[in-house]
Structure 1
């Protein structure tokens, strides 16, 4: 069994004027033998991630495995911070990502090239139980090689969807933002639903939202409370700040 801690809450939104927020979910799984990070976030999350790990007594060198749902910058670039870890990414994903030319897209070209050549990186394939109790499933659409991870080692299964289903709205509507293949994305979400409904109590941890379970009506409901805000200096002193609560929680 694994103890699961969501170290960083994914956020189901993007800035109006300045592109994606890049706030993706980072989860830590701990067993007697393994300390596993599911996705590792973007540059801006480095200090909060360091603080969260320190608060629970886990050092970067303690991480045994980094598991990446896909190669986009907001999920992958911090793999370099865990130099003792084995890094797992989909075989289809890294082959596709490494073949892309530089462009105005979320692929971090230099980090993708590092992933493609680093001997620590292992390539995962459909249906493979690559770590104890964790099976990978193809979930194309957002990217051609995106993976969903199904954890069955615990009493209640857990599904890590990455950006195959980024948030509750995508899961319910089966329509997605930022897909390279919308039909494939819909099929991937259908597969997530099949896994979710198979065992009552199964938890879904998406790429950009709070964890969820299904209620008695079969509808996704959140587990926990979202915390999100922005503090800005619009005044004339460093002490004069304006806080914007963007959690979506009624006050």
Structure 2
């Protein structure tokens, strides 16, 4: 059985003058060996994550493995749903969670507490999680950022987390934001570009690598509701 990849929730690259909504992509990989969830999002999407699982006929207890691409708050908070699963992070990321530097605003000192009581294990380059599903080391954004290479008959799809947050980052081959190590982050982007036929980025819709880059499906628009006043500014 070739792995089946389903995007449960799309990621969005969005910021405001009042902070970052930080909606990351959440993916499900299924094979005869079990079910792997890649990233789980933050508490603001708890209801949407449960609904997305339900739409696949699943509950949190049906997930065997949760892979956390890195320890930033927007990727890890909902991990407590999956108390029966093993939870995988890179060893360098677990070490960083013990004492994140003050300048890393994406990893508050309480971040490691969301892992309390869970079956947390370290993983890294080359670990085979399911047939055709392998861990990739993609450091730079954080010390232990990882991705997954999902190999099917159509080629290799790489789930990147924030090693490649958007199509624009892959196009530029330069890391965005404030990476721990810019040189390593740029090298990870180059690695993804050389390996993947399709990229599932951390805060964007899946796209096909090529000239030009093409989205696999039209990115779903984000709908805003409420009575608050808002001004929208387009960014590249």
- Pairwise same-fold verdict (TM > 0.5): yes
Number of residues of Structure 1 aligned to a counterpart in Structure 2? 232
Stretches of structure 2 lacking an aligned partner (at least 5 in a row)? none
Aligned to 2:226: 232
Q: Higher Cα Rg: structure 1 or 2?
A: 1
* SS of structure 1 residue aligned to 2:155: coil
Query: Counterpart in 2 of 1:141?
Result: 140
Question: Which protein, 1 or 2, shows the higher relative CO under an 8 Å CA cutoff with sep ≥ 6?
Answer: 2
Aligned to 1:5: 6
Please provide the CA RMSD for this pair. Answer: 2.4
Does the 8 Å CA contact 1:68/1:88 hold for their aligned counterparts? Answer: yes
Matches within 5 A, 1:1-251: 1-15=2-16, 17-100=17-100, 105-115=105-115, 118=117, 120-153=119-152, 155-175=154-174, 176-196=176-196, 202-215=197-210, 218-226=211-219, 227-234=221-228
Structure 1 runs not aligned, ≥5 long = 197-201, 235-241
> Is the contact between residue 66 and residue 87 of structure 1 (CA under 8 Å) also seen in structure 2?
yes
- Normalising by the residue count of structure 1, what TM-score does the alignment of the two structures yield? 0.84
> Would the alpha carbon gap of residues 154 and 122 (structure 1) be closer, same or farther in structure 2, given more than 3 Å must change?
farther
Structure 1 residues 177 and 101: alpha-carbon distance in aligned structure 2, compared to 1, 3 A threshold: closer
Distance in 2 separating the partners of 1:183 and 1:32: 38
| Whole-angstrom distance in 1 between the partners of 2:194 and 2:74 | 27
